[in-house]
Structure 1
């Protein structure tokens, strides 16, 4: 406890010294107000407050109700192997097939989304399996999670080996074994199954499993379907006859598993665990799907309150940058990050907002001196004001994830506060207005 006190006292003394050495700006600042200006307000730019960066991992991510499903796998050179396996409950409310119809074939029509990750120039292989359990959340859960799995048959009902083309084509045509499609077709045609409950009690669903050689993860649209093709004898029409089964969105999701090869992250067993960037080569990590997230503490900001006189944070920005050259064509990043307020146990409280109630994101900015550097800037004045007025300010911490955290596998490697690259260090920058102080500068 004494060590914490003396560290805080030391930081306060350093801050006062810093103010004495900073160049004060006494020109008019609209955010401060006329009364402050008349009282000789001094405005300081400060970028030497300590930040502490680390990596933590969510125990699980809720998956139900996503805007897409993902399937596939790739091996990240830093974080290891990650694999996405979707489970689909088939759905229909139409149980009428012409009694003269004759079964032809069955296929999965998987519509692409605009999402894909890693190497889509290599061939990808998948197998489809029948699920052997009812696809439903656990008794004590309302959602499916990235850790949820269900038993499947050991024999595949269909496979595909193809070059994905998410940009040039709109769907994947995935032929399945005729025996599987014909059984469904005849059960409905012969009135063995007449409603949704009867259907899901016999056909629990299907799962699509990635081959060990795969190198890409693909986004699959929620309007994808299983299609049974059939014909009607003696009908001289050119129409194509088919019967569609859709995916029940409330009972369809994707499981995501990660086999890490990074020994630095092996200690992340529980969500409350974190590992400092000082122990991971001055780096922190974010990875969608696997649950890896970056944490940023600002431990001594409350020392501002120890200054004589009154003051206010006018503006505050946190800058956090990608490791140089970690962003490639295959391992790309997006132009923004999600930012959350978390507690000391890494439990999420709320998404970060500003004083207007608008959600705050980490926004990518261009480096004027080096276009190869990728930096995200986060406006945190509201957060710091919360922290300064909190009884236990150490309970307010920032957590960072990528966009689409539970429906992507994007990964980010971020520089910590002690980065060897001085321009890429995680840094807090703030403008502080001080007035009615007792010191001369």
Structure 2
């Protein structure tokens, strides 16, 4: 693809008209600092509107759960008309209060047994409850020293359900006070009284002898969301926060208000998160892994593990000896309004742009700076609202890639394909974006604005 440059001779006089024509496309406004003051300097610019974009969905082998990874996602997104369904299952083991444990005194009477799960005070989708069932696991060799691929379910026994509950998002002020002790916000799942009675039946020389014996008797618990009800809430769990535990509340023949905690052990309790996507019958399914030589006219981005987009830039090696003053890649949302439920299923707060250095190996662009201390203010990628008419909000993302293009123009690096993806601090996240692709109608299309000075 050959870039046709035009002399920036009448940019100042046309600036107002250009801005009006492009509507919400802020990226076409030329900053004064980019126009050199000398009449002897020739500044040129071009906006490339025919970039190739391809939406990709593959298993992300870098996302693991278990071991030292304690965060996850629990819940169901079942009603996204564009991106389909997402489900998160949680699995965990617990430990004894102490070795050779026994409940206090004699004549035990169960009050309740409750499973508490550490959870962030943030969620995705609806602020609503959803149903979960809790089952006893029967996963072979479920161990703390194993990392588990996120898209592989762990085994549980559907005939051994020990609890059912409707759980809700938690708020920062949702702390619990239990017998005068305050606990951080957490999910609370009551379990069956029959399971509490099973715990009463165990002995210090049997299942309660040590953690190993206990985990043979109770291999783990699977917290399984109802995937048939079409809920739209996903919670972010953290087993190593919020005092994850199973608590038995009881009394004996002498005392009331007793409790025993079977806690999650960060160094001993096996755990995993199963997270699955299903795009069947939804809009996005039509433009995944198409391999279309002309590219896809819509960009779909979904936080990992989800959908990313490859962007092919044109060859700029033929640009004469020049300094690239600015090169801005612009991604503009296509808002689907109430039909797409864009008000409920929000966009990523940041996108990331990386380059392929081999078929599947990625590197940061030079404009990103030192990965240990990136130049984010310069590089860009933040979500910016450029139009907000009630539910029809439009957001835009911009990246400065002048250094990358300068090096490519000088043939110091290959002008390789770029990967555009959601960027989150979470291992598993949900925000998603529908934007104009390379062949979409301007101004919604992905575009590259280049301003350079001939030397």
- Per the TM alignment, residue 56 of structure 1 is displaced from its structure 2 partner at its CA by 0.5
What are the superposed Cα offsets for residues 210-251 of structure 1, whole Å, 9 maximum, x if unpaired?
11104122222323322222334313xx65422232164773
| Residue 432 in structure 1 maps to residue 452 in structure 2 | yes
CA distance in 2, matches of 1:364, 1:157: 43
SS at structure 1 position matched to 2:382: strand
CA distance in 2, matches of 1:267, 1:279: 10
Structure 2: how far apart are the matches of 1:132 and 1:243?
22
Q: Structure 1 residue aligned with 2:352, among 338, 360, 369?
A: 338
CA distance in 1, matches of 2:261, 2:362: 44
C-alpha separation between the residues in 2 aligned to 1:410 and 1:112? 18
Provide the secondary structure at the position in 1 that maps to 2:216: helix
Match of 1:208 among 197, 200, 223: 223
Q: 2:15 aligns to what?
A: none
What is aligned with 2:43?
A: 43
Aligned counterparts, 1:371-390, within 5 A: 372-388=393-409
* Cα deviation, residue 171, structure 1: 3.3
Which TM-score applies when normalising by structure 1?
0.77
- The residue that corresponds to 1:354 in the other structure is 368
Aligned residues: CA RMSD: 3.8
Deviation at 1:376, TM superposition (A): 0.8
The unaligned stretches of length 5 or more in structure 1 are 1-6, 436-441
Q: Deviations over 1:384-423 (max 9, x none)?
A: 3454456772544233124256422222212112223x23
Matches within 5 A, 1:150-229: 150-162=154-166, 164-167=168-171, 169=174, 170-184=185-199, 186-187=201-202, 189-190=204-205, 192-211=207-226, 212-215=228-231, 216-222=233-239, 223=241, 224-229=244-249
Partner Cα distance (1:263, 1:368) in 2? 24
Deviations 1:317-362 (A, max 9, x none): 2111221235733211232123333357454345876245443451
**In 2, are the aligned partners of 1:264 and 1:279 still within 8 Å (CA)?**
no
Distance 1:298-1:166 versus aligned 2 partners, 3 A rule: same
**TM-score of the superposition, structure 2-length normalised?**
0.75
1:180-204: CA deviation from partner (whole Å, max 9, x where unpaired): 3444455364454433333333322
Task: Please report how far the alpha carbon of residue 426 of structure 1 lies from its aligned counterpart in structure 2 after TM superposition.
Answer: 0.9
**Relative to structure 1, is the Cα distance of residues 144 and 387 closer, same or farther in structure 2, using a 3 angstrom cutoff?**
farther
Distance 1:46 1:378, change over 3 A: same
Using the alignment, how far apart are the partners of 1:70 and 1:225 within structure 2?
Answer: 18
Counterpart pick for 1:244 among 252, 257, 262: 262
Instruction: Answer with 45-54 or 425-434: which moved more.
Output: 45-54
Match of 1:100 among 95, 100, 105: 105
Match of 1:293 in 2: 308
Indicate conservation of the 8 Å contact 1:69/1:221, yes or no. yes
Pairing 1:423–2:423 present: no
Q: Is the 8 A contact 1:318 1:377 kept in 2?
A: yes
Asked if the contact 1:313/1:432 (under 8 Å) is kept, the reply is yes
CA distance in 1, matches of 2:366, 2:209: 49
1:333/1:368 Cα in 2 relative to 1: closer, same or farther (>3 Å)? closer
- Which residue matches 2:139? 133
Aligned length: 403
How big is each residue's C-alpha offset from its partner over 1:277-305, in whole Å with a ceiling of 9 and x where there is no partner? 9665x21212235421122221323332x
